[in-house]
Amino acid sequence: MSRERRLSSGLKAEIRRKAIHLSYLIVPITLIHPWLPWPRSRGEWTVFLVAAVLIAVAVDLARIHDRRVRVFFQRFFGDLLRRHEKAQLLGSTYLLIASLLAIDLFPRPIAAAVIGFTVLGDGLAAVIGRAYGRKRKFGKSVEGTAACLAGSLAWAAYLASIGQLDWPVAVTGALVASLVEFLPIPLDDNLRITLFAGYAMRLFGMPT
């Protein structure tokens, strides 16, 4: 297979993967516009996410250690799995863990912000980086990082425009999220964006 065909195949898989990832934006939207009857309160969100994390981890452990489950995943989701995920937790599991941490550690506006940065910023970084990335540093493309910053700033602007966050706090979160997405910090993207951006926003002046 030629390099161009490999890149095209990889881009299509990345788009499908990130389309699923981007659908998770419904979680931070629901946090700031609570239209569901349940979950609504912080306690209810915690119960929901703890259950989701336990189920996701159980599925991952079965996928890693049970050959039949592994074959099933390979048959239906093989091209969506990254190489390191074949023997580790899926990115979607880390996203659920990150969401649980965000809900429990931060006020709701910050939790919505950092989950949105993780979903939108990281999702755009992966797709644009795969499609147009040329200049690379730390294994990441400058183009992908620029897309992450654009997506994070757009989400920050939305939250600030509806009064969820002050503009300086929102922009600070977007900048920190994009920076830590780019830097080679030995922690899953979902976790590091959530934790670094969340604490930066809280330290910048958002009340606890």
Neighbours of 53 (CB within 10 A): 18
Q: Which of the residue ranges 6-10, 23-27, 145-149 would you say has the lowest mean pLDDT?
A: 6-10
Q: Which of the residue ranges 9-18, 105-114, 167-176 would you say has the lowest mean pLDDT?
A: 9-18
pLDDT at 206 over 70: no
How far apart CA 38 and CA 47 sit, in angstroms, is: 11
What is the percent of the chain where pLDDT is above 90?
A: 58
pLDDT at 80 over 80: no
In degrees to the nearest 10, what's the CA dihedral of 103, 104, 107, 108? Answer: 20
What is the percent of the chain where pLDDT is above 70?
A: 88
Element spanning 161, H or E: helix 142-161
How far apart CA 22 and CA 11 sit, in angstroms, is: 16
Domain extent listing, the chain: 3-204
Look at residue 4 in the predicted model and tell me its pLDDT: 47
How far apart CA 42 and CA 31 sit, in angstroms, is: 9
How far apart CA 122 and CA 70 sit, in angstroms, is: 27
Indicate the average pLDDT of the chain.
Answer: 87
